[in-house]
Structure 1
Amino acid sequence: MFTKILIANRGEIACRIIRTARAMGVRTVAVYSDADAGALHVQQADQAVRLGPAPAADSYLRGDLIVQAALDTGAQAIHPGYGFLSENPDFVEQVTQAGLVFIGPSAQAIRAMGLKDAAKALMVKAGVPVVPGYHGADQDGAFLAREAAKIGYPVLIKAVAGGGGKGMRLVDGPAQFAEHLASAQAEARNAFGNPAVLIEKYITTPRHIEVQVFGDGTDAVHLFERDCSLQRRHQKVIEEAPAPGMTVALRDAMGQAAVTAAKAIGYAGAGTVEFIVDGAGGLRPDGFWFMEMNTRLQVEHPVTEAITGVDLVAWQLRVAAGEPLPMRQDQLGINGHAFEARLYAEDVPAGFLPATGRLDHLVFPSDARIDSGVVAGSEIAPWYDPMIAKVTVQGPDRATALRKLQAALDATEVAGSVTNLDFLRLLARDADFVAGVVDTGLIARGQGRLCAAPVPDAQMIAIAAVVAAYIAAGPLVGFTLWQPLVRRIVLGQGDVVHEVSLQVLGPDQITADVAGAQVSLRRHGADWGARALRHGVRQVSVFGAQTVTFSIVDPLARGSDIAGGDVVLAPMPGLVREVAVQEGDHVVQGARLIVLEAMKMEHVLRAPRDGVVASMCAEPGDQVAAGDLMVALAPI
C-alpha cells in the first residue's frame, strides 16, 4: 500500500479522499489555487502545494505542475477525484511516465470510452445495446441536420467528449437544429477543447440509470445501479440506489452489460456505465441502451457505498497498489435504500444560474452523511463548480430513506448565498417522486411549482423584522407608561418591499403589523418561533419550511433602482464569449444579445423587450461580475 498520495482536485471530493486515506494510514498532499489557499481540503491534508492563480487552466488543469508537486513531496500515487484531469489520458501518461501510479484506469481505457461515438462503436462490437443515432466523424452542419431527420425528432445533440450536461441540446424540430448545433459545439469547444458532437434519438419517457463497476484490469464486478433521473439542464440533482421499480431480470441484464463494457477495455478502478432506460410501461430487459462510461469515481458514489457497505475510495487505493478485487460478485449485496441530494449555490427561479457569495451560516444535520468542502465563512468562488455539499441518507426501505432525506433537508441551514435548498425540499416531497414514478422530465414538468421564488408568510416577515430591529437600533426593551414602543422596519425581498410596524409589549412579546395582518410573537429561548439570524451586509435570513433572506432597507434609499426592462445585467460572474448585436441594432423581445460562460456552461442573455441597442458595455473576452451592465436599450 502507498504511504503518501497526492490528490489532484479540490473541494468535497478532495476532503472525501483524505478521509479514507487517513483511515488507511496513508498520508495526503493537497494542491490548491490562489482562490483555495484557505480551503478545507488544504487544511485537512498532511501537506499542501500551491499550483497557481484561480482559473483552472492556470492551476488544477496544469498536469505538469501537479506531477512535479507529487515528485517534490514524495507522493507515490495521484488520485484525480472527478472533473478536471480525472478523464484526461494525456495526464495519466504524464503521471506514469514520471514513475508515479495513477489511481484510476489506464490511458488506453480512458481513450476507449472518452469519446462517446467511439465508445458506442466499441459497445456495439461487444454486444451491448446502444441508442439509435449518428456517431460518425462528419461534422458538417447540413449533413448532421439530414441525419437528425433520418433518426426522427426529437433528437439529442451531445458533445462526443462531453459530460455533466455540457455540450448537450434537446432539439424538438428541424427549425431549431442549426442554432442548437452551433451552441452545443461552442460549449463543447470551451469545456473540452473538442467541438465534435453526435446525434441520438431522444427517448420520450427516459430514465437515467447507471451501474457502478469496478475492475482490476483482468476481472470486473458491478455494485448494482443508481437512478439519476432527477435532473435539471441534464445535470443530476437527487440520486438514489437501488432504482425504484427495478426488476431482478433487468438488474441482471444491466449489470452484465456494464461488466461486459468494463472487461472489453481491461478496466481497472471505479467506473460508471450509464444507460438510458425507457420508463414507459415499466422497466423491462429489452428497454435499456448504453449512453456512455465515466472512467472515474462519480459524484453520487455515496449512495452505492450506503447500500453495499463498500468504501469505493479504499478499493481504488488497493487496486491501484496492485491488489486484486476485494470482493467477488456473489459476495456483494444490497442493504436497504439510499438517497443523495446535491446542495448548490445557485439561483433556481432564475434558471439554476450558478451563484457566488460568502457562506455566513452553514448547519447540517448530525444524522446524515455530509460530503462538503466548505464550512461557515467559506467563499463560493466563480471559478469552480458551486456545490456546497452532498446530503446522503440510508434506510431499510425507500419510504424510510425518503423520510430521512426530507428531515435532513429540513434541518439544513444556509445563509450568505442563494441556494437550491428550498427546491430540494419541494422535490423530495413531489408526489410522483415519492411514488417512485420518475423520469428525466419530472423537474421540467413541475418547474412552475418547484422553482418558484419562496413566498414568505406574515409570521416569517414579522420575525425577520424583529431581528432587523434588534440589529438596527439595539434591544427592543423599554416602553413608556402610556404606550408601547413602536418601531417601523422596511425589508426587501428581491423586487418586493415589506413594511412592518412593531409594537413592543414587553421584552419577550411583540405585535407586528404586516400589510394589515396582525402577528403576535413571543420569544422562546433564542428565537421568536423560527430560527433567524442577521448576517452579511444588512441581511436577515429566516429558516423554516423554506429559507427566506431579506435585506434591511433604508427607507430614504428607496426608489433609486433603474427600470429592469431598459437594461440587461450580468446574472452571475462570467466570461463574455459572444456579442451578437452592436449599438444601433433593432432587437425584438427574446433576441440573442450576449453569450456568457460561467462554470463552463453557456448562458444566453436575451432582450427583455423590443428596442434599440443604445449602449453595448461588453466585448468578447471580458470578465464580468454579477450585476454588471451589459446592454442598455432605448425605445424604437
Structure 2
Amino acid sequence: MSDSNARDESAIEDGDYGTQDPHGETHHQKNTVHQRLRANSSIMQLNKILVANRGEIPIRIFRTAHELSLQTVAVYSHEDRLSMHRQKADEAYVIGKRGEYTPVGAYLAGDAIIKIAKEHGVNMIHPGYGFLSENYEFAKAVEAAGIIWVGPEPKTINDLGDKVSARTLAAKADVPTVPGTEGPVAKFEAAKEFTDEYGFPIIIKAAFGGGGRGMRVVWKQEDLKDSFERATSEAKSAFGNGTVFIERFLYRPKHIEVQLLGDNYGNVVHLYERDCSVQRRHQKVVELAPAKDLPQETRDAILNDAVRLAKSANYRNAGTAEFLVDQENRHYFIEINPRIQVEHTITEEITGIDIVAAQIQIAAGASLAQLGLTQDRISTRGFAIQCRITTEDPSEGFKPDTGKIEVYLKSVRLVATAYDLMVETGFRELSSLHTMTLCWSSALATAQRTRSLAERCFVHWSNSVFAV
C-alpha cells in the first residue's frame, strides 16, 4: 500500500471526513463551535478529559477533544489492551488488576475509573453511551470527586432513567404518551387488569433500561403470563431491576427522535429530528436525518413537545427525546435518553454542529447563546443516512455473535471523491468482540444534497465495507 493510501485508510478508520461536504464547505469552516469553545475562559482552565467507554465512541470524542487542544485519557480492560480506543488517546490506563474484572465489568467499575481520573489530573469525564452513561450514582460520584461530568445532572439521569417517571413528567408537560399503566407493574395480576381494560396487543417494557432488553410484545391472552415472566426476568438480569410497565402496542409506527441540547441556565434547543424506524429486535439498524415522509405539522409538534419536555425537566447537555408516530400521524412520547446517541453523527451532518464539542463546552459552563446555538440560528441542509455494521450469525437467525475479526475491508477509493463519507469504528482486523458487549462494531454514514443521492451513494459504499 502506498503512503497516500495508508493515510486515506487511516482517515477512514479514525472516522475522518472527506475534503468537502455536499455544499462545498468543510465541516470546520461551517462549524463555529470549536472556535467559540477555545475562546471560552471556562474551558481554558481545563486540559484533560477521560472517556469511560470502549469501542468507537471514545475515538469519536477524542477526535473533538484533540481539536479543542484537550489531552485525552482512555481506560481499558485487560482484554482490550490492544484496542483502538486505547491507542488513539494521549494516555491510557488499565482498569484494575488482571482478572479483577470481566471484560464488561471493568467499564462498570466506577470507583476504579474515578481513581484513575484523580491520579492522573483529569478535569472532565465523558461517559459515552452504554455502560455507566445512565448511572446517576456514577455521575454523582464524579462530581463529588471534583471532576466535571459531561452529561445531564445526576438527578435528571435518575428521573428520566425510570421510564414510568418519565411518562409522568411528560403528562405534566402536556406531551402525549402511549396509553399505558400509570405506575410500575410488579405482578402478573396487574398486567392482566390492564389487558382486561385495553385489550391486545400490548408491549411490556423494562422500566429501568432499553435496547430491546426486557421488552415483549403480546398479541393474545394465553401468551401474557409467559411473556410477563420473561420480560421481568430479562430486565432483572440486564439492569438489576425487574420492574416493568405496560403500553398499548402500536403496529408499525415511525420511530422519531429529537436531538436536544440544554445549558445550565434553563435554555434548550433542538437540532431537528432523526428517523430510526428501521429496527430489528428493537435495535436500530438504519437512521435517517431529517425524517422522511413526516408531515410538517407533525414534525413541528414533535420538536416543540421535545423542547417543552426537556425544559420542564431542567435538562442539561445532550439528550434525545424519542417518539412513536402512528399511521394517522399522531405522535406519542416514549422516553428521553440522557446521553449522546450512536446516531448523533447524522445530525451533525445536516446541521454542521459538533455535538460533542457542544457537550464539552456546556459542561464547562458556557451557555447556548455563547455557542451561537440559539434556535433561530440552527437549520438543516441536505440529507444523511447511517447504518450500523453488526456482528451477527446468519446461520443462527442473525443472533449477536462474538469472536475475532479476521478480515475487515474498507473502500478507500470513494473517500477521494466529492462525497462526504465516514466510517465510525473502534475495531480493526484481529480485534476481538467480547460477550455481553454490543453486537454492532461500526457505523457507516453519508450526507448528500438530496435523499435520493444519499441513498444511491450509501448503497454503493456499504457494498464495499464489511468484516468477517
Match of 2:362, as an amino acid?
A: V
**CA distance in 1: counterparts of 2:401 and 2:295, whole angstroms:** 40
Q: Find the counterpart in structure 2 of residue 402 from structure 1.
A: 455
Match of 1:228, as an amino acid?
A: C
1:389 Cα offset (Å): 0.7
Q: Find the counterpart in structure 1 of residue 166 from structure 2.
A: 119
What does residue range 275-314 of structure 1 map to in structure 2 within 5 Å? 275-278=323-326, 280-281=327-328, 283=329, 287-314=330-357
**CA distance in 1: counterparts of 2:234 and 2:150, whole angstroms:** 29
**CA distance in 2: counterparts of 1:277 and 1:87, whole angstroms:** 26
1:356 Cα offset (Å): 1.8
SS at 1:74's partner residue? coil
Q: Find the counterpart in structure 2 of residue 524 from structure 1.
A: none
1:148 Cα offset (Å): 2.3
Superposed CA offset, 1:76-129 (max 9, x none): 010000000101110111001111110000011111211111110111011111
What does residue range 109-508 of structure 1 map to in structure 2 within 5 Å? 109-217=156-264, 218-278=266-326, 280-281=327-328, 283=329, 287-325=330-368, 326=371, 327-366=373-412, 367=415, 368-415=421-468
Q: Find the counterpart in structure 1 of residue 86 from structure 2.
A: 42
Q: Is residue 96–residue 102 contact of structure 1 (8 Å, CA) maintained in 2?
A: yes
1:229 Cα offset (Å): 0.5
Q: Is residue 222–residue 259 contact of structure 1 (8 Å, CA) maintained in 2?
A: yes
SS at 1:262's partner residue? helix
TM-score, structure 1 as length reference: 0.63
SS at 1:214's partner residue? strand
Q: Is residue 185–residue 246 contact of structure 2 (8 Å, CA) maintained in 1?
A: no
Question: Which structure 1 residue ranges, 4+ long, deviate > 6 Å from structure 2?
Answer: none
**CA distance in 1: counterparts of 2:344 and 2:405, whole angstroms:** 26
Tell me how many residue pairs correspond in the alignment.
410
1:342 Cα offset (Å): 0.4
What does residue range 49-128 of structure 1 map to in structure 2 within 5 Å? 49-52=93-96, 53=99, 55=102, 58-128=105-175
Match of 1:399, as an amino acid?
A: S
SS at 1:290's partner residue? strand
**CA distance in 1: counterparts of 2:222 and 2:404, whole angstroms:** 43
Match of 2:137, as an amino acid?
A: D
Q: Is residue 149–residue 174 contact of structure 1 (8 Å, CA) maintained in 2?
A: no
Query: How has the CA–CA distance of structure 1 residues 163 and 239 changed in structure 2, closer, same or farther, with 3 Å as cutoff?
Result: same
**CA distance in 1: counterparts of 2:444 and 2:47, whole angstroms:** 30
1:236 Cα offset (Å): 0.4
**CA distance in 1: counterparts of 2:447 and 2:202, whole angstroms:** 36
**CA distance in 1: counterparts of 2:400 and 2:238, whole angstroms:** 16
**CA distance in 2: counterparts of 1:307 and 1:172, whole angstroms:** 39
What does residue range 596-635 of structure 1 map to in structure 2 within 5 Å? none
Q: Is residue 89–residue 107 contact of structure 1 (8 Å, CA) maintained in 2?
A: yes
Match of 1:140, as an amino acid?
A: K
Q: Is residue 148–residue 199 contact of structure 1 (8 Å, CA) maintained in 2?
A: no
Deviation larger for 241-250 or 215-224: 241-250
**Unpaired stretches in structure 1, ≥5 consecutive residues:** 416-636
CA RMSD, 1 decimal = 1.3
**CA distance in 1: counterparts of 2:105 and 2:276, whole angstroms:** 32
The alignment status of 1:19 with 2:63, answered yes or no, reads yes
1:22 Cα offset (Å): 0.8
Q: Is residue 83–residue 431 contact of structure 2 (8 Å, CA) maintained in 1?
A: yes
Q: Find the counterpart in structure 2 of residue 570 from structure 1.
A: none
Between structures 1 and 2, the one with greater strand share: 1
Q: Find the counterpart in structure 2 of residue 7 from structure 1.
A: 51
Query: How has the CA–CA distance of structure 1 residues 414 and 293 changed in structure 2, closer, same or farther, with 3 Å as cutoff?
Result: same
Q: Is residue 269–residue 316 contact of structure 1 (8 Å, CA) maintained in 2?
A: yes
**CA distance in 2: counterparts of 1:78 and 1:171, whole angstroms:** 41
Q: Is residue 153–residue 316 contact of structure 2 (8 Å, CA) maintained in 1?
A: yes
Q: Is residue 11–residue 372 contact of structure 1 (8 Å, CA) maintained in 2?
A: yes
Q: Is residue 118–residue 135 contact of structure 1 (8 Å, CA) maintained in 2?
A: no
1:158 Cα offset (Å): 0.2
SS at 2:66's partner residue? helix
SS at 1:164's partner residue? coil
Q: Is residue 104–residue 436 contact of structure 2 (8 Å, CA) maintained in 1?
A: no
**CA distance in 2: counterparts of 1:212 and 1:138, whole angstroms:** 30
1:58 Cα offset (Å): 3.3
Rg: which structure is higher? Answer: 1
**CA distance in 2: counterparts of 1:301 and 1:365, whole angstroms:** 23
Superposed CA offset, 1:505-531 (max 9, x none): xxxxxxxxxxxxxxxxxxxxxxxxxxx
SS at 1:257's partner residue? helix
1:347 Cα offset (Å): 1.3
**CA distance in 2: counterparts of 1:361 and 1:156, whole angstroms:** 39
TM-score, structure 2 as length reference: 0.86
Q: Is residue 151–residue 200 contact of structure 1 (8 Å, CA) maintained in 2?
A: no
Higher relative contact order (CA 8 A, sep 6+): 2
Match of 1:361, as an amino acid?
A: V
Q: Is residue 422–residue 444 contact of structure 2 (8 Å, CA) maintained in 1?
A: yes
**CA distance in 2: counterparts of 1:303 and 1:149, whole angstroms:** 42
Q: Is residue 8–residue 78 contact of structure 1 (8 Å, CA) maintained in 2?
A: yes
**Unpaired stretches in structure 2, ≥5 consecutive residues:** 1-42, 416-420
Q: Is residue 55–residue 383 contact of structure 1 (8 Å, CA) maintained in 2?
A: no
**CA distance in 2: counterparts of 1:138 and 1:182, whole angstroms:** 12
Q: Is residue 107–residue 131 contact of structure 2 (8 Å, CA) maintained in 1?
A: yes
1:404 Cα offset (Å): 1.1
Q: Is residue 277–residue 288 contact of structure 1 (8 Å, CA) maintained in 2?
A: yes
**CA distance in 2: counterparts of 1:125 and 1:383, whole angstroms:** 37
Superposed CA offset, 1:481-501 (max 9, x none): xxxxxxxxxxxxxxxxxxxxx
SS at 1:161's partner residue? coil
**CA distance in 2: counterparts of 1:219 and 1:117, whole angstroms:** 25
Superposed CA offset, 1:293-345 (max 9, x none): 00000111111111111110000001001111121111111111111000011
**CA distance in 2: counterparts of 1:383 and 1:76, whole angstroms:** 30
